[in-house]
Structure 1
Amino acid sequence: MTTLAALRANPNALSVHYGRFGVADRLLLTGHSHQAWPDVALNGQVEAFTDASTAVDAKWDLAFAKAERLRQAYRDLLGDGDRDTGGDIALGANTHELVVRFLSSLDLRARPRLVTTDGEFHTLRRQLARLAEEGVEVVRVAAAPAETLAERLAAEVDDRTAAVLVSAVLFETSRIVPSLDGVGAACRYQGAELLVDAYHALGVAPFSMRGLESAWITGGGYKYLQLGEGNCFLRLPSHAQDLRPVITGWFAEFEDLTSKASGLVGYAPGGDRFAGSTYDPTSHYRAAAVLDFFASHQLTPSFLREVSLHQNGLLASLFDDLDASPDVITRDRSAPREAFGGFLALTAPAAGKLQEKLAERGVLTDSRGDKLRLGPAPYLSDSQLEAAIATLGEVLR
């Protein structure tokens, strides 16, 4: 059984399984952008090629089995039941294509208003900004303070609102947004949709479907789940079967029994209603291999949260010990680590320059605007985190 003590040690007990990424010899604090893949990920990619070369066109039955393995993994992470009792899951290469199909299913002529925050990831930020240029009313609620964000979002929902779109964990600051069930209640009352971006929560921070049964949930495995690109999802509420996305691919025709009778474009049931078209299934093979690896090492959501809290708590404590000038670099100390997701966000006017200087010294981090983001991962030892912060101290000096 994998234990926190074994991961704190040097070498980290998991690091041997990440040899191709060289995690034992590199200070990879890019965990918020993306984590390293375990070596078994390559086995999945080879299996995809083998199935394609052996089965040729018949490979799709094999590929669809991998896709269903991924769908069930997301249901498990959401605590949303199984294939028969849980929410339907649509898969996509990225959240943007899934969110666009979701947006295309809304009646924006009757309800021309979308409510969001000013702290959303680029998938929502850019697309909603472009829709605003075309006349859609986009209301942006200040993301800070996170403690009252859900309440302030709920207050903006009215009978002209088509949807509220919000993250479970804010991608710039790492703050968890509490009480999203209250937004769900406001949306149900007004007949609006709620879409929650859980990308920065799954695999590293608590996420509950309680009170969100009628919500749409999107996310993916590129970051904390180590699945790599091409493994995103959209969880559909039960009433999604009443919606007809305008942006639709021919995979959504599979099992369609409605178009001939109605004369309209028909849709398959379940998650395939929001399906696209022909895709590269290699990512799903890779995902299945990594999911099996996580299961074999008992890397459960609760354990990964324990690891994350320890690592981020250690980084925060070591950073405080640097006693850096708050005018140069500081962190949010207004809430305990339990109120944050999987990375430590440091506020620094020269965050981009700090990232460059750290990279020159072998510490790979991530920055956005004035935020230098340190993203630990389960395969890093305490001594590696200590070395990273010591290097930050050298750069600051």
Structure 2
Amino acid sequence: MKPNRDWQDRARDLQKHYRRFKVDERILLTGHSHQAWPDVAFDGQMEAIEDAARFVDDKWSVAFEKADRVRAGYARMLGDISGEYVLGTNTQELLVRWLSALPLDMKPKLITTDGEFHSMRRLLDRLNETSVEVVKVAANPVGTLVERIIDELDERTSAVMLSGVLFQTGRVVPMLNELEDATNDRGIPLLVDAYHAVNVLPWYLPELGLEQAFIVGGGYKYCQFGEGNCFLRVPKENDWRPVVTGWFAEFATLHQSPGSEVQYGNGRWAFEGSTYDPTSHYRASAVLDFFEQQTLTPEVLYAHYKGQQQHLISLLREKDWPDHLTLPTDELDTIGGFLVLKTAKAADIVQGLRQEGVFTDSRGDSLRLGPAPYVTAEQLKQAVDALHRVVTG
């Protein structure tokens, strides 16, 4: 199968913007884990240093403008006009603040899945060792996941927490709108991890029926922002009082007279943190501008990724593979930005591919192949040829 010419030409053209990461000298199939930064990220990083040197402690007004740019970027990627965005260094710190606001003493039950990413999984596993009951619903089969979560809802449930795209399998969770309806009817908060959906799928909250949901995610993967660029999307009129609270949250209550209890603003302000390194937001702001200049919208990127995935599958099917390796069978519109090959030798294959100059990763028996916009059709063929050598050599 010939690759679609649109994404093939674009990938070749994009490579010149990623010189520092040498994307033309090595094959980075880590697009689902971390992507290369465009060269403009270096300019953003330097701008942060220059502003710090120029303005000293007065830099914060400029830094907050960069943060607002990042908030607006996430809202645009999610098609969101009704939420507010708290920024954090990682999803773990944002989840801690969020969990600290739940009435776990009165409603000690949390519902999640057995397919969650490490930050959420570890936090919930530890809570499950306390008086909190964490119910893990099997992530597969994904088609009935929402229905099975709804069956677990009861008056003891404090919240539901799950991914919109499963990080091990890449499968998109369907019927999230039904889950939001069910949780809203019962007054139960819903938090969706969108890390594998943001800027790789046209994953828009109004269309998904998730306008009342909390959304957590970040820019280390498909946004190419690098570390330190995570977010928690908060419904606008939310009035929670998290126990884990930073002094930035006081910015929303400066006009209020001090009371006998800690004051909180509405929306994102209740979840704000404290002093942070703004360098990551400078970098992300520069990358956002680059994506806009290149017209790399979620719709464009979705078509690009699907073209790459289809080409990869076609190349894989042209070869004979040993019995221990199973090729992907999912329809492309049911998965996120990466392909999963099943093999008990996944970890060993990752190391073998690294020796061939092909970078990818594995989770258990899942070998994950994640293209990125700058990966060309020629590189995908080289990667499949290398994979074949590794597993048959």
Q: TM-score range by the shorter chain?
A: over 0.9
Q: Deviations over 1:259-298 (max 9, x none)?
A: 7453111123432220111100000000000000000000
Question: Which of 213, 225, 228 matches 2:226?
Answer: 228
8 Å CA contact 1:344, 1:375 repeated in 2: yes
Question: What residue identity is the alignment partner of 2:109?
Answer: R
- 1:6 is displaced (CA, Å) by 5.3
Contact 2:328–2:339 under 8 Å retained in 1: no
After TM superposition, the score normalised by the length of structure 1 is: 0.95
Opposite residue 237 of structure 1, the aligned amino acid is: P
Which structure 2 residues correspond to residues 144-293 of structure 1 after superposition, within 5 A? 144-210=140-206, 211-241=209-239, 243-257=240-254, 260-293=257-290
1:389 pairs with 380, 384, 388, which one? Answer: 384
Aligned-pair identity in percent equals 52
Q: Among residues 130, 134, 139, which one is paired with 2:135 in the alignment? A: 139
Tell me whether 1:342 sits opposite 2:337 in the alignment.
Answer: yes
Conserved in 1, the CA contact under 8 Å of 2:183 and 2:190? Answer: yes
1:314 aligned to 2:287? Answer: no
Q: Is the 8 A contact 1:348 1:370 kept in 2?
A: yes
**Which residue, out of 358, 361, 366, partners 2:356?**
361
Q: Secondary structure at the match of 1:59?
A: helix
- Which residue is equivalent to 1:44? 44
Give the whole-Å Cα distance in 2 for the aligned partners of 1:310 and 1:154.
Answer: 35
CA distance in 1, matches of 2:10, 2:93: 41
Unmatched 5+ stretches in structure 2 = none
Does the 8 A contact of 1:128 with 1:138 survive in 2? yes
Mapped to 1, the partners of 2:11 and 2:157 lie a distance apart of: 53
List per-residue Cα deviations over 1:90-110 (Å, max 9, x = no partner): 110011111111100000011
The one-letter code matched in structure 1 to 2:381 is: E
In 2, are the aligned partners of 1:146 and 1:175 still within 8 Å (CA)?
yes
Question: Do residues 101 (structure 1) and 108 (structure 2) align?
Answer: no
TM-score for the superposition, normalised by structure 2:
0.96
- More divergent stretch after superposition (58-67 vs 232-241): 232-241
Kept in 1, the 8 Å contact 2:11–2:374? The answer is no
In the alignment, what sits opposite 2:62? 62
Tell me how far apart the structure 1 counterparts of residues 114 and 288 of structure 2 sit (CA, whole Å): 33
**Match of residue 370 from structure 1:** 365
Distance in 2 between residues matched to 1:10 and 1:226, nearest whole Å: 17
Cα distance in 2 for partners of 1:47, 1:10 equals 28
Question: Alpha-carbon deviations, 1:289-315, whole Å to 9, x = none?
Answer: 000000000001000000000111111
1:20 paired with 2:20, answer yes
Could you report, residue by residue, the CA deviation over 1:289-343 in whole angstroms, capped at 9, with x for unpaired residues?
A: 0000000000010000000001111112212222313x4111341x311101000
Aligned counterparts of 1:127 and 1:9: Cα–Cα separation in 2: 43
Do 2:341 and 2:367's aligned partners in 1 also have CA atoms closer than 8 Å? Answer: yes
User: What secondary structure does 2:116 align onto?
Assistant: coil
Aligned match for 1:122, one of 114, 118, 134? 118
Give yes or no for the alignment of 1:303 onto 2:295. Answer: no
Counterpart Cα distance in 1 of 2:344 and 2:229: 34
User: Which residue type is aligned with residue 88 of structure 1?
Assistant: E
CA distance in 1, matches of 2:351, 2:307: 26
Give me the whole-angstrom Cα distance separating, in 2, the residues matched to 1:338 and 1:351: 25
Deviation at 1:206, TM superposition (A): 2.8
Helix, strand or coil for the counterpart of 1:181?
helix
The alpha carbon displacement at 1:146 in A equals 1.0
Q: Is the 8 A contact 1:7 1:14 kept in 2?
A: no
Q: In the aligned structure 1, how far is the partner of 2:289 from the partner of 2:218?
A: 17
Number of equivalences? 388
Contact 1:10 1:382 in 2 (8 A): no
User: 1:212: Cα distance to partner?
Assistant: 1.2
Please tell me the root mean square deviation across aligned C-alpha atoms, in Å. Answer: 1.6
Structure 1, 256-265 or 297-306: larger mean CA deviation: 256-265
2:29/2:369 contact within 8 Å kept: yes
Shift of residue 393, structure 1, vs aligned partner: 0.5
SS at the partner of 1:354?
helix
Q: Cα 1:11–1:154, aligned 2, differ >3 Å: closer, same or farther?
A: closer
Contact 2:249 2:271 in 1 (8 A): yes
What is the letter of the counterpart of residue 125 of structure 1?
Answer: R
